[in-house]
Structure 1
């Protein structure tokens, strides 16, 4: 192959970028299936170190790569295949340790345990980085077109990964992507080297074996103490299904189920006959769980479900034949609870397509009796978006632990943001309740309350925004005696004396339930819920939140990180009890990643410069170029993450953020790269493009984004078109920066292009970490606006063309 043939080089850039992003997103699904997202966040971030190290290799051996392009590219593709399959197999079979660390030392130990495995996933991306880096560094190839096809391939990868996971699953999709890159690289280069052909043959054999023995190769070893680890020991895992949101597992429950031995007896009740009907369980990413009771279609088979905390709202309400909305179907327990109380209608919304398929197809015979009930309307969709687009009102709205504790594919770098628990969400729930309607939100709780306490503060905030003077009169709470599971009941109107008496009377019949807060009990101040509700003054409530040892402040759509309760000062708390009460995961993660990045900076920035200097090579204004490429890595990822979070809710499903937002951003960036020479010529300098980026972001933030919630009722295609039109000008401007600087360096400092590529890669690793920390601390809007000064610095740091490069001399 002669890589001066631009069409083949462009096809290689397109194909490599497609597979790179495609596989990275698949890795982002693999990891949460084994680890909680706290660890997945680190693993996914570290994979991008591969691109940084590819820059180091090219800085050292660029002439060899340029002189042996065909063999180098196909060999890199073959090594990508071998390392991807190998890293995945090792990760699946590796000792998983414990799923949850309960102490800080254990968290650090687990972190150190997983970082080496994390770095395994960086190896494949180093080989992709070699292919893209050598194509961008070649003086015979047009940088702007190569970079354009690189981004277009990435856009297609973002767009196709959702259907691939849905139809093939993650493991088969990884193998298919590897085969595509290997075949494409070989056919486009036709290498002649013997070693290259041997590597290609070996990679082909590995792919064939991976296809034939995928069940053995990708058999997961689950963390000790997790739900699936116990099920795996008893051969009880029946079915595994992939969905882009999460992986769903179906397991058998070995009889008998003993509520007294369960940490959550309030979910089970005491009826021994009913307990024998707990035959299966659905888990999501080996953590969030839902019981799947064997229901034969008769009310007699549900006798006992009225003892569980799921039925709290039905005992409180006086509405006959209630209209019910269930958000998060799982195994159907909330639906069966509703059926036990003779509802007029049940609307059930489930975000996970794999769950819906299990209920309606794979296990249809098991779930048929309630799935086919004419009163049930099962909808696949996101609960918040459903409420934004319907005008229906309900007597009971129920959410039972709705989350997966994992980032969505479109937001793999964030800690479990969830728009179901924000103030805006509570306001939407209240607006869809009838006058006597009840919202029942149930979740796990800690010994020192924080999770349901934050739900309570958010509900009070929503009630105050609705004009309610005494929110405490509108709220009741039911918990287990040990407080480990809690139900929050909220009404638009105050709870009546009879409703309070009915709920109190019901809990008195159970050993596993008690009323934790009510208008009649709050004055006692017996627990933190009562203490907070007894304040009845916004300033006192704010003081309570500010002085509480955990972050339980109300969350909103700009900071939807409901599950983050830590502060930065929790790293070194003054109270000894807090050392064991909370692990500041985000804060520790940032520190660990900063240490890793610091080492990478030495290896990828300073060491190559010393190597160049020892060979008589230098580039003028090296610090300014380093700042330029570091800034583009930080700024681009900050904008990407902010837009993914910003538009995910607007589009109506977490998968759409990936398919529409990320694909549109990459496509627009590619088009900006293609025409970057004309745009820069029109603006005269790159720094003026920075002004345009700032102006566009400020204009959209100030004049368009505030109106998006009112447009959520539009059809999906109209909403997608709106998102694309908003992303297009931003992405087009962002596509100008990297190719313009590389084209400037190429003529007289070709050897420094891989160095710049590596710097961009390093700070692309750091960017998600800092973006998450920034977004959690100050909000998504602040993250988007923070990208403006970054790009202004980028624009000013690029030296003038005529003064930048000093010709390389020996």
Structure 2
């Protein structure tokens, strides 16, 4: 039976631990947006640093006597909650500038120390709770672990229901709630009033921000960002930008032969401030005619009347392209359900209600698992520049886009192709730095070899657009389950001549770099001789 006094202690510790985990995890999301994904786990470092400093303070400072344990629990839990609010507001006000300059070094250290302060206060509380109550240490530790577990588990629905800054405010409210519980142990009216005032002030701030979004991440990748709207979830921050008419549409590989006949309506979607996709105005096929001029969709010229599976539909561009080519079955999988809900819901009329077009089916899910659960075979499986540079709450890229670029993933894709089906992947490509397409070629050749294909070269084509001002160069690799037929290569050559695309590699167009890579599949000595690691990635490497 838990006594009334112990109950306040146990649930105070639970609330501190709960708040700490939510703060740490949500900070990884905020860092991924405000900085870059590789800085996101800066949050782990500063939390461990702060917690360690808090423990050292308790161990080394003579003020932390046993008779004042409850007083210090109250004070530091109150400071924990208040410092959460002040530190995040400080961070949001300062552009993160991680450069080797005086200002860059100072601002990085300053931000680190400011954000470590709440964790230091938390560390003091947790250390006191775990060292000052030896007779009930087991139960105190159990509530500490339970709070951490709740925080790690509930952060997902929290971020699905509110933005990250509001979630930080929630963490502050939980910390101050702990101070109220510790104040109950003190039976001090003044302490109860302070904790109550702080709790209601932070709760009011949280609710105000929930509806008004007055406090948000405005400095994104060292630039001021002002989207039309933004949505947060456990894996991303999705920002939508205002509508605009453009002469040259957003494209991953537009042909130089494209001549604008009418403006194209677009709304950009940005994921974590760095990865972009586009929603294109679609009321008739004329609105999306430009998609026929994109090297990304060249597979549709080779496989008409095809069943198509799209990996990562984003703003719906790939789905619209497949529909433009009159493909009878189009299934698209999108790992980010927030983006999917936008193009199916609020912006459905803008994008032509893609989900309601005949033969089109859009599903929320990761492509590998979605395909694995299906028995359908496809003539085209397509992925267009799928690579989100963001950190998830589970770890950088965990269960997201990078798992699409492995031998195991491509085996799944090949197993879901029809006998003459084509796997189409598009990446940025420059003749001066063709590393991304070379790595994909290595991946394709390795996969084909492991599937028992003796001559992978007969199954691979690489095509790129000719770059021109305002349009970034990209390339598309086509990998056929069976060798490309002469008729396929004739079609490919004709369409490339018409659209002025460049065939970088094909069974008819030898490229020494690509050919050498294909010929040396699995040759570790060859890979080690290269300036870049071009060996095929696997799920384990």
| CA deviation after TM superposition for structure 1 residue 390, in Å | 1.5
What residue number does 1:285 align with? Answer: 272
**How far apart are residue 78 of structure 1 and its match?**
2.1
Tell me, yes or no, if the aligned pair for 1:65 and 1:134 is still in contact at 8 Å: no
Is the aligned partner of 1:220 residue 2:207? no
Task: Classify the secondary structure of the residue corresponding to 1:147.
Answer: helix
Gaps of 5+ in 2: none
Match of 1:134 among 128, 131, 152: 128
- The separation in 2 between residues aligned to 1:78 and 1:267, in whole angstroms, is 61
Return the match for 1:435 from 394, 401, 419: 419
Give 3-state SS (helix, strand or coil) of 2:128's partner: helix
Which of the numbers 327, 345, 352 marks the counterpart of 1:343? 327
For 1:433 and 1:178, locate their aligned partners in 2 and report how far apart those are by CA, in whole Å.
Answer: 51
Cα root mean square deviation, aligned = 3.0
Tell me what 2:17 maps to.
17
Output the CA distance in 1 between the equivalents of 2:4 and 2:368. 52
How far 1:206 moved relative to its partner? 4.6
Deviation at 1:405, TM superposition (A): 1.1
Provide the rounded CA distance (Å) in 2 between the counterparts of 1:455 and 1:63: 61
Deviations 1:51-72 (A, max 9, x none): 1100111012366353223332
1:38-117 pair list within 5 angstroms: 38-61=38-61, 64=64, 66-97=66-97, 113-117=107-111
SS in 2 for 1:467: coil
Residue pairs, 1:165-176, within 5 angstroms: 165-176=159-170
Match in the other structure for 2:306? 322
| 2:298 paired with 1:309 | no
Q: 2:538 aligns with which of 524, 533, 556?
A: 556
Q: Distance in 2 between matches of 1:160 and 1:474?
A: 47
Q: Are residue 272 (structure 1) and residue 266 (structure 2) matched?
A: no
Per-residue deviation, 1:113:
4.4
- The residue aligned with 2:526 is 544
Deviation at 1:464, TM superposition (A): 0.4
Q: Counterparts of 2:48 and 2:141 in 1: how far apart (Å)?
A: 18
Q: What residue number does 2:230 align with? A: 240
1-structure distance, mates of 2:427, 2:352: 28
> Residues of 1 paired with 2:436 and 2:106: CA distance?
28
Partner of 2:507: 519
Q: How does 1:158-237 map to 2 (within 5 A)?
A: 158-190=152-184, 191=186, 192=188, 198=194, 201-202=197-198, 204-212=200-208, 215-224=213-222, 229=224, 232=226, 237=227
What is the rounded CA distance, in whole Å, between the counterparts of 2:405 and 2:334 in structure 1? 16
The number of residues matched between the two structures is: 531
Q: Distance in 1 between matches of 2:495 and 2:85?
A: 56
Secondary structure, counterpart of 1:365 in structure 2: coil
Residue 151 of structure 1: how far off its partner (Å): 1.2
* CA gap 1:467/1:4 in 2 versus in 1, 3 angstroms: same
Contact kept in structure 1, 2:255 and 2:499, CA below 8 Å? no
- TM-superposed CA distance for 1:112, in Å, is 6.5
State yes or no: 1:380 paired with 2:364: yes
Distance 2:251 2:361 in 1: 32
CA–CA distance in structure 2, aligned partners of residues 360 and 263 of structure 1 = 22
CA distance 1:344–1:495, shift in 2 (3 Å): same
Distance 1:374 1:264 in 2: 26
- Larger helix fraction of residues: 1
Distance in 2 between the 1:174 and 1:208 partners? 13
Deviations 1:597-637 (A, max 9, x none): xxxxxxxxxxxxxxxxxxxxxxxxxxxxxxxxxxxxxxxxx
- Equivalent of 1:450 in 435, 453, 458: 435
Shift of 1:197: 5.1
Q: Is the 8 A contact 1:344 1:375 kept in 2?
A: yes
TM-score (norm 1): 0.61
Please tell me whether the aligned partners of residues 445 and 521 of structure 2 are also in contact (alpha carbons under 8 angstroms): no
CA drift of 1:496 comes to 1.5
Relative to structure 1, the CA distance from residue 450 to residue 193 in structure 2 (aligned partners, 3 Å threshold; closer, same or farther) is farther
| Structure 1 pair 112–490 and aligned structure 2 pair: CA distance change class (3 A) | farther
TM-superposed CA distance for 1:255, in Å, is 3.8
Change in 2 beyond 3 A, CA 1:413/1:365: closer
User: Residues 43 and 115 of structure 1 are in contact (CA less than 8 Å); yes or no, is this contact kept in structure 2?
Assistant: no
Shift of 1:121: 2.1
Structure 2 Cα separation of the partners of residues 266 and 45 of structure 1: 43
1:315-714 maps to which residues of 2 (within 5 A)?
315-317=301-303, 320-411=304-395, 418-445=402-429, 447-481=432-466, 484-511=473-500, 513-522=501-510, 524-525=511-512, 528-533=513-518, 536-538=519-521, 541-559=523-541
CA deviations over 1:382-411 (Å, ceiling 9, x no partner): 111112222211011011122311222112
Task: Give 1:352 shift.
Answer: 0.8
Supply the distance in 2 between the matched residues of 1:128 and 1:189 (Cα, whole angstroms).
16
Cα offset for 1:374?
2.8
Residue pair 2:421, 2:480 contacting (<8 A) in 1 also: yes
Q: In 1, distance between residues paired with 2:290 and 2:83?
A: 53
Q: In structure 2, do the counterparts of structure 1 residues 48 and 325 end up closer, same or farther at CA, with 3 Å as the change threshold?
A: same
Deviation by residue 1:699-728 (Cα, 9 ceiling, x = unmatched): xxxxxxxxxxxxxxxxxxxxxxxxxxxxxx
